[in-house]
Chain A
Amino acid sequence: MATTVSSVSKQINPEVSEVIAVAMSGGVDSSTVAAMLHAEGHEVIGLTLQLWDQNRLAGKPGVPDAPKAGRCCSLDDVYDARRVAETIGIPYYVVNQQDRFEHDVVQPFVNDYLNGRTPIPCSLCNNHLKFDQLLLTARQIGADRIATGHYARNEYDPARGRWILKRPADRAKDQTWFLFGLTQDQLAHTLFPLGHLTKPEVREVARESKLHLTDKPDSQEICFIPGGNYKQFIANYLDEQGREMPDSSGELVSTSGETLGRHEGIHNFTVGQRKGLGLTAPNPFYVLNIDATSRRVTVGPESELTSPILHVHRLNWIAIPGLNQPRRAQVKIRHVHDPAPALLEPTVGPDGSDRVKITFDEPQRAITPGHSAVFYDGDEVLGGGWIL
């Protein structure tokens, strides 16, 4: 068994024995990583981030009194991760980062929605918690690197003198879109041992390693919102904080400026949304734009949902040190989206910060402020930024 297991990740990590902290979520992927690295002879330490207390909003509207099983950062996941660590025989610790998670992920998540944007909390969590705080803790306690169960590949390219992030073998599981914010230092201290494997292969390794959770389903939802009702979460969170839900109700208007109806608040909308508009028309309407200042939500037919141009800010570069001149790339603007060919052009924002203007060859559907746009050159992640 050990040979099957070890042959896989050695491709990334040819060195002999290292102290490696594995970020264990209690799922199949990260559990398998821990088993693989241990089988390879590394000194493995299991770490789980405790990010959110699922009991915090228990009993509030729409939230069960007791948290449901099988959610990320739930006690069940800690239990699963601990059992895996016991099975493998590695030391295991829970690292509490609830304060930081609330400050760096939950609060921006709520504020984005209240300002008409649609956030991606997983990317924020990667940037601020997993590859920042957890990596720091891992190194502080004596680990050389951390390993995670993300489907991505990273390698050092001596010619360019840079760490490169690449799309994984299993394209269907590609998580590079969530990882565009990784710095060179973070990439240098991170291992993605699943980058060369497909999900069925990972489950097979988990089975060979006799992990009890081989058939555990993948988590799909936002970990701190079991059930997935983000509107209810925002209302409950604001209530818990003693804050009033700001009144952001306003008009639903057409692209020509005609008032079609009213809405209860801009946080209920996402660009591209069709359901819940409360409008009856022969052809379905879609949310085209959310204006936080005027609280106006512009709606229109699907044909008007596509646009060729977008701008991003708060950039991070990976395969290249920066963008000095226009260049071609493929750009991915949501988790389920094939990178589409586009032209990248460096621009400067009113505050003097670097921005990128993206012009797609073919107009793209539902460009969503608050999401990220990630730039690819084939398999390589060039960099990315947040959509304005």
Chain B
Amino acid sequence: MRRVYMDANATTPLLPEIVEAMRPYWMEHFGNASSIHQQGQRARTAVDEAREILAQFFNCHAAEVVFNSGGTEGDNTALFGLLHPGDHMITTSIEHSAVIAAADRLAQEGIETTKIDPQPNGLIDPMDILRAIRPNTRLISVMLANNETGIIQPVEEIGKIAAQTGVYFHIDAVQGAGKIPIDVQKIGCHLLSISGHKMHAPKGIGAIYIRKGTPVSSLIVGGSHERRRRAGTENVPSIVGLGKAAEIAMHALDSGVMHRLGELRDRLEQGLISKISGTGVNGVNTDGSIAPRAANTSNIWFDNLEGEALVIALDLKGLAVSGGSACHSGKTEPSHVLMAMGLDKNRARASLRFSLLKTVTEADIDYVLSVVPEAVARLRELAPAPEPTFSATALA
């Protein structure tokens, strides 16, 4: 059976050139980047080169790039490393659980959090952030692109507010990285975390930009790696992989790959909505247009069905998509992101995320447009009829 993977926001495959770039660093150049000898120097060079590429990727100095294990560690580092009892933090109700759960933990330690709800189109209003600022506000943490809807938050405006009010600003850019250009100077953020496996690098590698002078204490202590900001022997092959992934992503952003991806996403989205009744896009503005989104993501609601059953039915037809975010599967609660956008529970439960890989083809889109309507029809046909208002005996 043909298999089409449309769950790129959950994870992505390694690209062949990334695997090739990494290959020598497992066996041939296996050195510890902290060692004095030549094996160590070779590894150190590879890490430094990757760091230079990431510095270009973020538009920062190489010394401001810290390699870590991924997005969750980056988010945790920003929150746990910067906040102290008595501080106040502002974040949003649509963040990834790496931020939300960290904020919940901090709440137990006397760090208060204000969670800003998005507007119905999924966008955070920067004015809401400004209004939430208090004298003891130390950190604003807002994501760049939402993992479920792809909607891109107005981080430059929020950056201005942070600068004006003297508050540190962290961005969870896990879903934005590689899909939209990142410029930490333009945004004016102090911290920005990314994850390798969302952009064709391996799982278990990530990086965080820490602006020079930002007093972030290390989450993991031990040796003096990463300028004492993250202890632990550098994961050299994966760091090389992340560097290569960032290089490929920058090139792709410059060469219109995202534009083509957006057109395919739009064709998929419009195709689904026109072929299937009772559907729509999550993230619509009041004028009917759609809020700015990452080019690969489409989040669609389907009335009168169970989203979970549709995900399973589609997987059996060869299409991999997800409802809500992968970290939440197995939970009975509807997506907290869609609920925060004001969707009703049923619609939130019956929303699916299609997130496309850059390698998606026209034929993939055609295949998806052929299997989804069929699967939806079967689900709806077999769904139990709504409870009648009057029983037959009551009418007699």
Q: Does A59 contact B (CB under 8 A)?
A: no
Any A CB within 8 A of the CB of B332: yes
A140 touches B332 (CB 8 A): no
Chain B: minimal CB distance from A46 (Å) = 11
Q: Which residues of A contact B331 (CB under 8 A)?
A: 96
User: Interface with B: A87-95, A190-198, A242-250, which one?
Assistant: A87-95
Q: Which of A91, A94, A99, A142 has the most CB of B within 10 A?
A: A142
Asked if A259 is at the interface (CB within 8 A of a chain B CB), the reply is: no
Report if B14 contacts A (CB, 8 A).
no
Residues of chain A contacted by B313 (CB below 8 angstroms): 140-142
Are A140 and B316 in contact, with the CB atoms below 8 A?
no
Measured between beta carbons, the chain A residues less than 8 angstroms from B308 are: 95-96
- Is B384 at the interface (CB under 8 A from chain A)? yes
> Contact between A96 and B382 (Cβ–Cβ < 8 Å)?
no
B interface SS class: helix
Assess whether B332 is in contact with A136, with CB atoms less than 8 Å apart: no
| CB-CB contacts below 8 Å: B315-356 with A | 315-317, 330-332
Q: Considering the chains assembled together, what is the distance between the CA atoms of A140 and B379 in angstroms?
A: 5
B312 at the interface (CB under 8 A from A): yes
Whether A141 contacts B309 by the Cβ 8 Å rule is yes
Of the candidates A45, A94, A142, which one forms a contact with B330 in the assembled complex, judged by CB atoms under 8 Å apart? A94
Q: Is the CB of B382 within 8 A of A140?
A: yes
Whether B316 contacts A139 by the Cβ 8 Å rule is no
For B309, give its contact among A50, A94, A137 (CB under 8 Å): A137
Q: B6-38 toward A: CB 8 Å interface, digit per residue (1/0)? A: 000000000000000000000000000000000
Q: Which residues of chain B are near A140, meaning CB under 8 Å?
A: 306, 309, 313, 378-379, 382-383
Chain B nearest Cβ from A275, distance in angstroms: 37
Contact of B332 among A45, A91, A98, A139 (CB under 8 A): A98
Q: How far is the CB of A345 from chain B (nearest CB, A)?
A: 24
Instruction: Tell me whether B316 and A136 are in contact (CB under 8 A).
Output: no
Chain A: CB-nearest residue to B379: A140
Give Cα distance in the complex from A275 to B308, angstroms: 46
B306 x A45 contact (CB < 8 A): no
Interface residues of A in 171-207 (CB under 8 A from B): none
From known contacts A96-B330, A96-B332, A99-B332, infer whether A142 and B378 are also in contact, taking CB-CB under 8 Å. yes
Number of interface residues of A (CB under 8 A): 15
**Smallest Cβ-Cβ distance to B393: which chain A residue:** A352
Whether B330 contacts A50 by the Cβ 8 Å rule is yes
Cβ–Cβ < 8 Å partners of A136 in chain B: 382-384
A142 with B332, Cβ < 8 A, contacts A96-B308, A136-B384, A137-B306 known: no
Give residues of chain A (71-100) contacting chain B, Cβ–Cβ below 8 Å: 91, 93-96, 98-99
Give bound CA distance, A96 to B332, whole Å: 6
Return the chain B residue nearest A136 by Cβ. Answer: B382
B332–A141 contact, CB under 8 A?
A: no
Which residue in B316, B330, B384 is a CB contact (below 8 Å) of A141? B316
The reply to whether A91 and B316 contact each other, CB–CB distance below 8 Å, is yes
Using Cβ atoms and an 8 Å threshold, which residues of chain B touch A45? 316
Complexed CA–CA distance, A50 and B333 (Å) = 13
Q: How far is the CA of A140 from the CA of B376 in the complex (A)?
A: 9
- By beta carbon, the residue of chain B nearest A352 is B393
Complex Cα–Cα for A45 and B312 (A)? 10
Task: Give A3 Cβ to nearest chain B Cβ, in Å.
Answer: 28
Distance between B137 CB and nearest chain A CB, rounded to angstroms: 34
With A and B bound together, what is the CA distance between A140 and B381 in angstroms? 8
Question: Do A139 and B330 touch across chains, with their CB atoms under 8 A apart?
Answer: no
Docked pose: A50 CA to B317 CA in angstroms:
23
Alpha-carbon separation in the docked complex, A139 to B306 (Å): 13
Q: Using A140-B382, A140-B383 as known contacts, say yes or no to A91 and B315 having CB atoms under 8 A apart.
A: yes
Q: Complex formed: what's the CA distance from A140 to B377 in Å? A: 9
* Contact of B382 with A139 in the complex, beta carbons under 8 Å: yes
Query: What residues of chain A lie closer than 8 Å to B332, measured between beta carbons?
Result: 50, 96, 98-99
For A36-58 the 0/1 string (1 means CB < 8 A from B) is 00000000010000100000000
Chain B residue, CB-CB nearest to A93: B312
Q: For residue B314, which residue of chain A has the nearest CB?
A: A141
Q: Is the CB of A142 within 8 A of B316?
A: yes
**Nearest chain B CB to A42's CB is how many angstroms away?**
14
Nearest-Cβ distance from residue B322 to partner chain A, whole angstroms: 12
Chain B neighbourhood of A142, CB < 8 A: 313, 316-317, 375, 378
Q: How far is the CA of A96 from the CA of B333 in the complex (A)?
A: 10
Q: Which residue of A lies closest to B317 (CB)?
A: A142
Within the assembled complex, what's the spacing in Å between the Cα atoms of A139 and B313? 10
In whole angstroms, how far apart are the Cα atoms of A98 and B382 in the complex? 21
A96 to B317, CA, bound (A): 21
The interface residues of chain A lying within 8 Å CB-to-CB of B379 are: 140
- For B382, the chain A residues whose CB sits under 8 A away are 136, 139-140
Write the nearest CB–CB distance from B7 to chain A, whole angstroms.
15
Point out the residues of chain B lying under 8 angstroms from A99, CB to CB: 332
Q: Which residues of B contact A91 (CB under 8 A)?
A: 315-316
What B residues does A93 contact at CB under 8 A? 312, 315
Which A residues touch B375, using CB under 8 A? 142
Cα distance, A96 to B307, chains bound together (Å): 11
**Centre residue among B375, B378, B382 by max chain A CB count within 10 A:** B382
| Assembled-state Cα–Cα distance A140/B312 (Å) | 9
A139: B residues at CB distance < 8 A: 382
Chain B: minimal CB distance from A319 (Å): 26
Docked pose: A96 CA to B328 CA in angstroms: 12
Interface residues of A in 109-147 (CB under 8 A from B): 136-137, 139-142
Whole-angstrom CA separation of A95 from B331 in the bound complex: 10
Name the residue among A45, A50, A140 with the largest chain B CB count within 10 angstroms: A140
Interface residues in chain A, defined as those with a beta carbon under 8 Å from any beta carbon in chain B: 45, 50, 91, 93-96, 98-99, 136-137, 139-142
26 A-B contact pairs sorted by A residue (CB < 8 Å)? A50-B330, A50-B332, A91-B316, A93-B312, A94-B330, A95-B308, A95-B309, A95-B312, A96-B331, A96-B332, A99-B332, A136-B383, A136-B384, A137-B306, A137-B309, A137-B312, A139-B382, A140-B306, A140-B309, A140-B379, A141-B309, A141-B312, A141-B313, A141-B316, A142-B375, A142-B378
Additional A-B contacts beyond A50-B330, A96-B332, A137-B309 (6; CB < 8 A): A93-B315, A96-B308, A136-B382, A137-B306, A140-B378, A140-B383
Q: Which 9 A-B pairs have the closest CB atoms?
A: A141-B313, A98-B332, A140-B379, A141-B312, A140-B309, A93-B312, A96-B332, A140-B382, A137-B309
